[in-house]
Amino acid sequence: MLQDRINELFTILETGTGDIAVYAKCTPSTISRLRSGSRNPGSQSTSVTKLIDGMVQYATENNKLQTLMDEVNVNNEELIREALKSYLFSDTNTENIKRLPFSEKLDKVMSLCEMPNIKLSKLVNVDSSYISRFRKGIRSPKSNPELFNRICVALFDQLELMNRFPDLIELMNSTSNMQLDKEKSIPREELYLNFHAWMNDFDKSDRKKIDHLLGTINTFSPNYDIPIPPLEMLVSNDIINDNCAVYEGIKGLQQAVLRFLGCAIKEKADELLLYSDQGMEWMINDAAFRSKWAALMALCIKGGTHIKIIHNIDRDITEMTEAIESWLPLYATGMIESFYNKKPAGNRFKHTLFLYPGKACITSCHPSEMDELGIYNYHTDALRLDFYKKNFDYLMKDAVSLVNLSQGTFQLSNLDIDPHDSYNSLSLSIASNKVVVVKNSPPKLTMTLTHPLLCNAFQAYLEHRHNDSSQDE
What are the C-alpha distances in Å from 463 to residues 223, 366, 393, 421?
34, 42, 39, 10
Section 238-256 average pLDDT? 94
Residue 265: which of 311, 233, 225 has the closest Cα? 233
Query: How far apart are the C-alpha atoms of 194 and 159, rounded to whole Å?
Result: 14
Query: How far apart are the C-alpha atoms of 101 and 138, rounded to whole Å?
Result: 12
Better-scored residue on pLDDT, 259 or 135: 259
Evaluate whether residue 280 is within a structural domain. Answer: yes
367 CA to centre of own chain? 25
Residues 396 and 281 in one domain: yes
| Backbone phi and psi for residue 183, each to the nearest 5 degrees, phi listed first | -85, -15
> pLDDT tens digits, residue range 1-34?
677 789 889 888 888 888 899 999 888 888 887 8
Residue 83: which of 93, 66, 68 has the closest Cα? 68
Residues 297 and 431 in one domain: yes
Last residue of a domain, one of 201, 222, 241: 201
CA angle 469, 471, 473 (to 5 degrees): 105
Better-scored residue on pLDDT, 20 or 371: 20
Confidence of residue 306 (pLDDT cuts 50, 70, 90): very high
> pLDDT tens digits, residue range 439-468?
888 888 888 888 877 877 787 677 666 543
| CATH for 405 | 3.30.870.10
Q: How many domains does the chain have?
A: 3
> pLDDT tens digits, residue range 127-183?
888 899 888 877 777 667 778 888 999 999 999 999 999 999 988 888 776 667 777
Residues 263 and 346 in one domain: yes
Better-scored residue on pLDDT, 280 or 215: 215
Q: What is the pLDDT of residue 408?
A: 66
Residues 166 and 188 in one domain: yes
> pLDDT tens digits, residue range 97-122?
556 788 889 999 999 999 999 999 99
Query: How far apart are the C-alpha atoms of 473 and 469, rounded to whole Å?
Result: 9
Amino acid at 470: S
> pLDDT tens digits, residue range 30-52?
888 788 776 667 776 778 888 99
Residues 157 and 25 in one domain: no
Evaluate whether residue 23 is within a structural domain. Answer: yes
- Mapped to the 3 state alphabet, what secondary structure does the chain carry? CHHHHHHHHHHHHCCCHHHHHHHHCCCHHHHHHHHHCCCCCCCCCHHHHHHHHHHHHHHHHCCCHHHHHHHCCCCCHHHHHHHHHHHHHCCCCCCCCCCCCHHHHHHHHHHHCCCCHHHHHHHHCCCHHHHHHHHHCCCCHHHCHHHHHHHHHHHHHHHHHCCCHHHHHHHHHHCCCCCCCCCCCCCHHHHHHHHHHHHCCCCHHHHHHHHHHHHHHHHCCCCCCCCCCCHHHHCCHHHHCCCCCEEEHHHHHHHHHHHHHHHHHHCCCCEEEEEECCCCHHHHCCHHHHHHHHHHHHHHHHCCCEEEEECCCCCCHHHHHHHHHHHHHHHCCCCEEEEEECCCCCCCEEEEEEEECCCEEEEEEEECCCHHHCEEEEECCHHHHHHHHHHHHHHHHCEEEEEEEEECCCCHHHHCCCCCEEECCEEEEEECCEEEEEECCCCCEEEEECCHHHHHHHHHHHHHHCCCHHHCC
Residues 128 and 82 in one domain: no
Evaluate whether residue 356 is within a structural domain. Answer: yes
What are the C-alpha distances in Å from 443 to residues 50, 60, 131, 301, 438?
31, 29, 49, 20, 11
Last residue of a domain, one of 172, 201, 230: 201
Evaluate whether residue 467 is within a structural domain. Answer: no
Evaluate whether residue 97 is within a structural domain. Answer: no
Residues 408 and 317 in one domain: yes
> pLDDT tens digits, residue range 83-93?
888 788 765 44
Query: How far apart are the C-alpha atoms of 446 and 404, rounded to whole Å?
Result: 8
Residues 248 and 366 in one domain: yes
Q: What is the pLDDT of residue 472?
A: 41
Evaluate whether residue 471 is within a structural domain. Answer: no
Query: How far apart are the C-alpha atoms of 332 and 439, rounded to whole Å?
Result: 13
Last residue of a domain, one of 176, 201, 226: 201
Residues 67 and 125 in one domain: no
Residues 38 and 117 in one domain: no
Q: What is the pLDDT of residue 99?
A: 64
Residues 174 and 250 in one domain: no
Evaluate whether residue 470 is within a structural domain. Answer: no
Q: Give the Cβ contact number of residue 227 at 10 Å.
A: 6
Q: What is the dihedral of CA 151, 176, 192, 367, to 10 degrees?
A: -40
In the sheet that holds 399-407, the strands lie side by side as 246-248, 375-379, 360-367, 349-356, 271-276, 306-310, 336-341, 399-407, 445-449, 434-439, 426-431, 421-423
Q: What is the pLDDT of residue 116?
A: 93
Q: What is the pLDDT of residue 388?
A: 96
Residues 145 and 290 in one domain: no
What rounded mean pLDDT belongs to the chain? 82
Amino acid at 237: N
Evaluate whether residue 59 is within a structural domain. Answer: yes
Residue 370: which of 254, 470, 250 has the closest Cα? 250
pLDDT above 70 (res 199)? yes
CA angle 12, 205, 104 (to 5 degrees): 125
Q: Which range of residues forms the domain containing residue 138?
A: 102-201
Question: Per the confidence metrics, is the pTM higher than 0.95?
Answer: no
